[in-house]
A = this chain, B = another copy of it.
């Protein structure tokens, strides 16, 4: 199977398959004489595993461990569970941050009449405060901020 078919079968883009190979998350596959990558259905299975783990928000770094444990038939399920629960904790932190932002913004917006008048509590809020402990401040703004 060529990369295009493998990608379709696994629900992972060709770009990502090559990337996973590049970072050593999956082994380099056999090549045809012309240099085409050739995948087995076992490879596709692995790729699907990776895709699902991504859908649950695991970073590739964790996925490397998960794949290793998955292959290791003598693993302790405790290790997997710990990884999963740590990730849940991370998700909870992000959710809390986003909810704090949402709450603050809703409060500001609630008192903004939102018409033709220039009067705007939202801008005032951004301009004036909060300087005190208003929201859960991410250590690093980028951890959660931005995007739409």
Listed in ascending order, the chain A residues whose CB lies under 8 Å from chain B are: 45, 49, 52-60, 62, 66, 69-70, 72-78, 80-82, 84-88, 90-92, 94-95, 98-99, 101-102, 104-106, 108-109, 112-120, 122-123, 125-127, 130, 135, 137, 141, 143-148
Cross-interface CB contact of A126 among B60, B70, B99, cutoff 8 Å: B70
A88, B76: Cβ atoms under 8 Å? no
Number of copies of chain A assembled together: 2
Residues of B within 8 A of A148 (CB): 59, 62, 86-87, 90
Chain A binding surface SS class: helix
A115, B85: Cβ atoms under 8 Å? no
Cross-interface CB contact of A73 among B49, B98, B108, B118, cutoff 8 Å: B118
Residues of B within 8 A of A125 (CB): 52
A20 to chain B, nearest CB (A): 13
Residue of B nearest to A62 (CB): B148
CA distance A78 to B119 in the complex (A): 10
